Structure 1
Amino acid sequence: MGLVNDLLINIYKKMKMKIFLYIAIIFASLLLFTCCKQNKKENEKNLTNQSANDGVNKERSLTRIDALYYNYILESETPIKASDMKKEIPVFSEDKNGILDASITDSTKIKEIKDLLNDLKASEEETTPDTRMIFVLVYDDESKDTISLAEIYSDRIYFNGREQIRNNKLLFTLKNYIGFYPWLIGDDMFNMSELQDHSFPKPPFTSSRYYKEYQQALAGK
């Protein structure tokens, strides 16, 4: 009986060791699978960010930036497509609200904007822009990229249709160089996130030729 008991004990110990090894192997496999999956997600995220901003980083010479924008705060029940925006210059003696055009051609301003564009990072969100401003970047090889500023306060950035992480300095620079801010008053300016961001210096607001025409129309009344 003693030999039988010893044999059974040895068999039990061996089985116990095998079970322990199996559990260890399964645990290690699960851990390895989880790590690989996480690395794959990170790589896909990095590739997505890179591909979303490839157009910004290419060594092309940006010659001008053409813009189209609502010069007032517009609330809309349905998203506004960039393709639906057409230039509408109001009769300033009667009304100031319209869809205005602008063009940025100064080389210093263009370089500043391009440097800011190089810092853009694609957002993980996939959303449809409710457009209020369009900026068409025109390069020396005649290729183009598009920036859309969306939502009521034009504070969501889309590069070639892909949403980017908010960059308040870029928001301010684009809006200021087309002469957007002088059209605003009171709470509208307070609700602009970039104007409440004190992490970067802000030069004086720029006025567009349309705003000067509007001021002249007011003075003539």
Structure 2
Amino acid sequence: MTLPLLAFLLLAPQTVELTPTDDVWVYPHASDGAHDANLRVWGYEGKAAPADATEAEELSMAYLKWDVASVPAGKKLTKARLVLTNIANPGYTLEQAKAAPLQARPLAPDFTEKSWEFESLGKLLPKREKLDVFGVGAPEKLVADKPAPIEIDLMKGPNDFGKYLAAALGSPSKQMALALTSTIDMATLGRTGIYKFYSRDERDATVRPRLVLTFE
């Protein structure tokens, strides 16, 4: 291998794609919060993230966790995207989705699908302020009978995802988690006011959640 080619390969951006090791539909009446093929998110009276477990009973969130041990350490993170796929024909309109997009928030990775119980939520709530959000996302377009891609730019801020990922890489567990929330209001919009996207348990791997990280 020539030196110029080796230098090019060393300097070329490196992309890592990760599927969650665990994801949970966080709702007290979930039929199977840990193993449902879909995750569902909605808010309540303008609230996206609850202040306590009692308030959490009024809304729905999704918790996702990754093993980041394979992520290269010591390289500069230039892009970070969370790619989701909403089921076909969602009830909401583009205008409603853009007014109340999905929000990615920091969350302690202290959960597993296997042991998940809604009753433990009081010890595992996401950070709930606007400044805690890493990024937001909604479908760019809706096509009849077609699943709707949703992409969240985690580098958009206001919160610093690069710093958050670095902390996870430096932890003994090498695990990182995110909570997905939204202010879209099912109480007002009815069943149209729901984000319903595929989980890691969906048979079709192409629509499962993906964390896409680019380094240089």
The reply to whether TM is greater than 0.5 is no
Structure having the higher helix fraction is 1
Structure richer in strand, relative to its length: 2
Q: Give the TM-score of the pair, scaled to structure 1.
A: 0.25
TM-score normalised to the size of structure 2? Answer: 0.25
